[in-house]
Chains A and B, each alone.
Chain A
């Protein structure tokens, strides 16, 4: 399958910091594939994701989304992605439906497209009547559902999600995971996820990349990684990769 995202030696050095926040990170995500970046706090996951989302600029390397470089054509990249940050909020003075309409208006080329996006968003978030209420009165879980619906309603080539199910209860989280899998399989959307939840990653992703100290230490299918690190599950793989790195 064609690759939607090609990350090539992506690096980031923040001013006044001695170490690189991301150090020569390279991986790719194919159409319809779910790729997860995992790693401890401060590993460089969010920095990598922010560079791919065109929010911050790389100090080295490049990432190409649907044929467009994040360095040279960030505007084109943004037409092909959606980004859902961790612990993100939504505009409290808007109603749920206003929010979907507003975000859709930034992506849609015409009214028909806008209506299509909003209808899809409404169906995905499952908030029904509550959509006409102000977001200020929503619970954390409701906001997360709305934001998730927003991130996939435009069916971007690549949806980037930082801790996609944070703040959701077990049932809702499960629904979201199923939805992500279905969108990847049926609509060929590619997903780049970042999470601390190994169970979730193991369930939802096709391939994972383990980051620590700004470097991508291991990339592969979960089965391959388990074999390579002689681990029973992804958690053990993660532990071994991180510890190996610490020893070095």
Chain B
């Protein structure tokens, strides 16, 4: 009952209304950003609608446009520009972009036999990414017209058949194979790379936040109690110190998991928004040009990953979860020791630094480099940071580097045992009240008053 009440109290301290709002806000922000990016990309890659101003009355142009319309892949919205003041015309017609086929387009190709002029006008968008995408979009629309135009020229000017044209346009088909761990699968390495990158970014991102959140929480929980002297009141009540300690740690883990969950849901949406179109592109790369088999494409990539031993088995997930547990446990026990040393809020901020550095260094190193391929000394230093093993766990499990994985896990367990021993020792002895770390100004201030624990 006492543990339950203590846990409830700790959770109430950690999960405040403000904390919940910030969690939801972060998630919403990420989802929103993902949608904006996804929306912008979809809009950008959407070649199914063209706003077109045809100023050429030639038969050739009419034929091309009819072909484009007949393909039913593209819908043409015809507009008429009354002047060359594009800004005014775009404003009047309320359009974002338009393709202009100027007078003499058909004549240039059929009579003069020289490249014709085509214009593409687009309105500058406010956002950086959307503006760059609208340029891509323009290029795609013009590509579409150019394709139809090319077919027309080849069949009209040179009398080629449809199959001749198809052969000229695509004289070969590339089939890509990727080799990993002595296994081969029919898949493009770049498509796989993009997918594994997505996977290897989400997991470390979650670990990074989980660790920082949990560490900061337990540190604040302990130091605030110490600074406000509520800890003295609590520890003089008939409740064992281990119960107080475990309630704090469990509450920090629960809150950290909650935070990580909100964060990851948001991040997953963000990545989905960002990568949605990229995945479609990837599947096309695997299956050929037909983008209607996108779902099948994704399944094929999944199959290819399994064939290459790159997918995770249920056992791998369990092992990863065990490692994640010890990672958080190490973070919590170290933070507990550091938090108990704080004598004011300023010193809490300073004391968080060692944890932040230990979490950030391996996060960035593993994101940009393969630790296993580093020089021996550097590898030793990086692996000495216990959190490195968590960041590399997924890739070690995927690539079957089981010796490195188990070594890392054993190292983490030993590291945790030592930290926990020190934390429990500190918490159950005088050290909790006598250990201190304070910033210069705070020490000066207290110096005038004399230290309470030295009275």
Contact = CB atoms under 8 A, between A and B. Distances in A.
A209 B167 CA distance: 107
A103 B237 contact: yes
Interface string A68-93: 00000001001101111111111101
A147 B233 contact: yes
A211 to B, nearest CB: 9
A39 to B, nearest CB: 9
B232 A83 contact: yes
Q: Which among B2, B13, B433, B452 has the highest number of chain A CB atoms within 10 Å?
A: B452
A81 B455 contact: no
Report the contact-size class of chain A (Cβ under 8 Å from the partner): 35 or more
A84 B434 contact: no
Report the contact-size class of chain B (Cβ under 8 Å from the partner): 20 to 34
B430 A57 contact: yes
A175 B233 CA distance: 23
Nearest to A102: B9
B228 A88 contact: yes
Contacts of B6: 106
A153 to B, nearest CB: 12
A53 B232 contact: yes
A56 B430 contact: yes
Given A45-B455, A87-B229, A93-B13, A81 B236 contact: yes
A193 to B, nearest CB: 15
B455 A57 contact: no
Contacts of B292: none
Interface stretch (A13-21, A120-128, A164-172, A230-238): A13-21
Interface in B1-54: 1-2, 5-6, 9, 12-13, 16
Given A56-B434, A88-B228, A93-B13, A46 B452 contact: yes
Interface string B232-270: 111111111000000000000000000000000000000
A94 interface: yes
B125 interface: no
B228 A43 contact: no
A67 interface: no
Contacts of A106: 2, 5-6, 234, 237-239
Contacts of A56: 430, 433-434, 453
A94 B11 CA distance: 11
Q: Is the interface of B mostly helix, strand, loop or mixed?
A: helix
B238 A55 contact: no
A50 B239 CA distance: 16
Given A87-B229, A89-B228, A106-B2, A55 B235 contact: yes
Contact of B455 (A47, A84, A93): A47
A237 B2 CA distance: 46
Interface string A34-73: 0000000111111100100111110000000000000000
Given A55-B433, A106-B2, A106-B5, A46 B455 contact: yes
Q: Which among A42, A75, A91 has the highest number of chain B CB atoms within 10 Å?
A: A91
Nearest to B239: A106
A15 B434 CA distance: 9
A83 B239 CA distance: 13
A3 interface: no
Q: Which among B2, B235, B237 has the highest number of chain A CB atoms within 10 Å?
A: B237
Given A46-B452, A50-B433, A105-B1, A88 B9 contact: no
Contact of A89 (B12, B229, B239): B229
Given A84-B233, A102-B5, A57 B429 contact: yes
A172 to B, nearest CB: 20
A46 B453 contact: yes
A90 B230 contact: yes
A134 to B, nearest CB: 10
A23 B12 CA distance: 42
Interface string A172-205: 0000000000000000000000000000000000
A14 B434 contact: yes
Nearest to A109: B1
Given A85-B229, A91-B13, A55 B5 contact: no
B454 interface: yes
B238 A107 contact: yes
Contacts of A41: 449-450, 455
A53 to B, nearest CB: 4
A10 B237 CA distance: 22
A104 to B, nearest CB: 10
A44 B453 CA distance: 9
A30 to B, nearest CB: 21
Contact of A107 (B237, B450, B453, B454): B237
Contacts of A75: 238, 240
Given A42-B455, A56-B453, A78-B236, 8 more contacts: A42-B454, A50-B453, A79-B238, A88-B233, A98-B12, A106-B5, A106-B239, A150-B233
Interface of B: 1-2, 5-6, 9, 12-13, 16, 228-230, 232-240, 429-430, 433-434, 449-450, 452-455
Interface of A: 14-15, 17, 21, 41-47, 50, 53-57, 75, 78-79, 81-91, 93-94, 98, 102-103, 105-107, 147, 150, 160
The 10 lowest CB-CB distance pairs between A and B, nearest first, are A89-B228, A83-B236, A88-B229, A46-B455, A106-B237, A56-B430, A78-B238, A79-B238, A53-B236, A105-B5
21 contacts: A21-B454, A42-B450, A42-B454, A46-B453, A46-B455, A47-B453, A50-B453, A54-B235, A55-B232, A55-B235, A57-B429, A75-B240, A78-B236, A88-B229, A91-B13, A98-B12, A102-B5, A103-B237, A105-B1, A106-B2, A107-B237
